[in-house]
Structure 1
Amino acid sequence: MLYWIFLFQLMLAIITLGRVGLVISLFVLVGLVFLYRVSLKLKLPKNRFSKLTWEDMPWLYDGIARMANRAGIPMPTIYIEDSPVPTAYSFKNSIVLTAGLFEVLNEEEILAVAAHEIGHIKNGDTLIFPLSKYGQYGMGILTIAIIALGESPMARILSLFNLIAYYFYLHRFLRKREFRADNVALRIAEVPYALKNALEELKYYETILRSNDIPLPTIQPQLERKKEERFYITTLVSTHPSYDERIARIMAIVDMYRIYELN
């Protein structure tokens, strides 16, 4: 749906603005391709990120290797970020775990969090997410051009409606991808219920931070992280379901697996 909305906005700009709309549309498309290619070539600064080897943490390296094999993907590159904030994310075929994660979670829970990131890689989210998020900027440029240069009131209304629809569907799309990554994690994790435990621990940690008004970037999905902590340009809408939503869904799926095994 996102891509159809974006395509409709491109066509609306061309029809409404003629040659000017065509030039702007081509500029937007070239810009999106450029940003997308740049995002795939981003390199992590060595002063904050260290590449994990088997000698560093055999249990973590072997655990991720086994889960990647179950997911049917190549062994991901593992990085440890020197950050006290417990979080994890992925890009290309790489997983980043922060140092703070090891202070909050046990080994099983860390592997479950890594399994979620493997799920993102398995589902192609590390390629889809940047393009979908950058699309919002293209939509913004096209909307501004149609409203500022277009003469048709109907075209202006349609362009604004399309922009709102894009943000709405982007919100839904990214949330669904998080649930899909959880589904993969539950299939490949050696202790599936550990993902639920990890989310509960992270939620508790965050509650403490918020209650003490500590000015640190947070792992809570609804709150924006600091600019230096973001790997891709952030979207203006929440991209994650709440902890409670994910925990309830994980419990339901694990219970369903147990009932199936008993039968």
Structure 2
Amino acid sequence: MFNAIRTTFLLAVMTGLFMAVGFVVAGSFGMFFALALALVTNLIAYWNSDKMVLRMQRARELSWRDSPDLFDMVEGLARRAGIPMPKLYLIQNKQPNAFATGRNPENAAVAVSSGLLNHLEYDEIGAVIAHEMAHIRSRDTLTMTITATFAGAISMLAQFGLFFGARNTNSPLGPVASIVMIVVAPLAALMVQMAVSRTREYEADKDGAQICGNPLALARALKKISKLAKNFENPFARRSPGMAHLFIINPLAGRGADNMFSTHPNVENRIAALLELSKQMQVEERQQSDIGRFLHHPQPKRGGWRTPNSHVSDRNQPKGPWG
């Protein structure tokens, strides 16, 4: 509840910043123009952001025949999360990572990298996907799209204001204060965007751990991904750093504690929260997660997932862990 209130407050701050920059640039007309611009840009983002992100990552949609084990896992986790089965995409990248996108649970997608499948254990992969399911269920994908769009639009308005020298005679701030605000507003918008992202990551960790049934599996996954992300580069995310907040771990391998400029919470803090949650859920390290307990066939060995293009002729073979 606290995180939901905090997210709503931060979004309200973002809207206020947007209107304030519009007012400084062009008075009352600028304020209403800013609102109209926000509406248009968010409508465009609402309908197209998922396609754009997947295309930028060169993600390829998978079917059950491409990777039956993975597909069955995602299908079962979606049932446990109480959401429709999202589309599943594969990113050919050695960096282990994953993200969710889509405007709502009915039009959602989960993308995992080949590095994630090669480096993580079965229950850890399930925990990562459960984390992404939590984002979808909470509609965080839409929230983060809105904040990113607002931040970009505020920066655009600020550049417009600087270009014209903030010559709005109707502004009560005066020319100097107006210019200062135009310079500071984009930075403030970025800080708000990062704060929203960190808030939603903590919430998705908690909800994802409850969906998969084992916070410790997610804690192990975060530790591994964080370490390996520094060894493998994601060139697509580097070209478009604005999408970094979508991933479960910063694909740009950012370091440091929680601060106003980080897209993700510090990994150690996230792991500590998951360890505390495991105590509340009375989950022990030796205890099998729900993924393991419901397993109907042997777990794929590390790196042993049936890779795309390995086809299976009979859909009626034994189902995966959630079947």
The match for 1:193 is 216
Secondary structure of 2:263's partner? coil
For the Cα contact (< 8 Å) 1:5–1:162, is it kept in 2? Answer: no
Cα offsets for 1:20-65 (capped at 9, x unmatched): 62575234543343344331443845x9533333333333222222
Shift of 1:162: 4.1
The match for 1:139 is 154
For 2:196 and 2:234, locate their aligned partners in 1 and report how far apart those are by CA, in whole Å: 24
Shift of 1:173: 1.2
Aligned in 2, Cα 1:118/1:187: closer, same or farther, shift over 3 Å? Answer: same
Moved more, 75-84 or 231-240: 231-240
The match for 1:221 is none
Cα offsets for 1:236-262 (capped at 9, x unmatched): 942211221111111111112118xxx
For 1:57 and 1:40, locate their aligned partners in 2 and report how far apart those are by CA, in whole Å: 22
The match for 2:41 is 31
> Percent of counterpart pairs with the same letter?
26
Cα offsets for 1:76-126 (capped at 9, x unmatched): 111112122211111111111111112211111111111111111011011
Letter in 1 for 2:190: Y
Letter in 2 for 1:217: N
For the Cα contact (< 8 Å) 1:24–1:142, is it kept in 2? Answer: no
Aligned in 2, Cα 1:94/1:132: closer, same or farther, shift over 3 Å? Answer: same
What are the equivalent positions in structure 2 for 1:166-205 lying under 5 Å apart? 166-205=189-228
Secondary structure of 1:258's partner? coil
For 1:136 and 1:40, locate their aligned partners in 2 and report how far apart those are by CA, in whole Å: 18
Higher RCO, 1 vs 2 (CA within 8 Å, ≥6 residues apart): 2
- Find out whether 1:217 has 2:229 as its counterpart: no
Letter in 2 for 1:52: L
For 2:47 and 2:90, locate their aligned partners in 1 and report how far apart those are by CA, in whole Å: 24
Aligned in 2, Cα 1:55/1:118: closer, same or farther, shift over 3 Å? Answer: same
Secondary structure of 1:79's partner? strand
For the Cα contact (< 8 Å) 1:90–1:96, is it kept in 2? Answer: yes
Secondary structure of 1:238's partner? coil
For the Cα contact (< 8 Å) 1:32–1:138, is it kept in 2? Answer: no
For 1:48 and 1:41, locate their aligned partners in 2 and report how far apart those are by CA, in whole Å: 10
CA-atom RMSD, angstroms?
3.2
Instruction: Count matched residues.
Output: 247
Secondary structure of 2:52's partner? coil
What are the equivalent positions in structure 2 for 1:76-91 lying under 5 Å apart? 76-91=86-101
For the Cα contact (< 8 Å) 1:108–1:194, is it kept in 2? Answer: yes
For the Cα contact (< 8 Å) 1:139–1:163, is it kept in 2? Answer: yes
Query: Of 82, 87, 92, which aligns to 1:72?
Result: 82
The match for 2:60 is 50
| TM-score, normalised by the number of residues in structure 1 | 0.79
For 2:24 and 2:60, locate their aligned partners in 1 and report how far apart those are by CA, in whole Å: 51
For the Cα contact (< 8 Å) 1:102–1:110, is it kept in 2? Answer: yes
The match for 2:16 is 8
Query: Of 125, 129, 136, which aligns to 2:144?
Result: 129
Mark the runs of 5 or more structure 2 residues left unpaired by the alignment: 1-8, 103-107, 247-259, 284-323
Shift of 1:158: 4.3
Secondary structure of 1:226's partner? helix
Moved more, 126-135 or 11-20: 11-20
The match for 2:115 is 100
Query: Of 239, 242, 247, which aligns to 2:271?
Result: 247
Letter in 2 for 1:17: A
Mark the runs of 5 or more structure 1 residues left unpaired by the alignment: 219-223
Secondary structure of 1:252's partner? helix
Moved more, 78-87 or 189-198: 189-198
Aligned in 2, Cα 1:74/1:136: closer, same or farther, shift over 3 Å? Answer: same
Secondary structure of 1:73's partner? coil
Shift of 1:19: 6.6
User: Counting helix residues as a fraction of each chain, which structure ranks higher?
Assistant: 1
For the Cα contact (< 8 Å) 2:38–2:150, is it kept in 1? Answer: no
For 1:51 and 1:15, locate their aligned partners in 2 and report how far apart those are by CA, in whole Å: 45
Shift of 1:177: 0.2
Shift of 1:17: 2.1
For the Cα contact (< 8 Å) 1:130–1:232, is it kept in 2? Answer: no
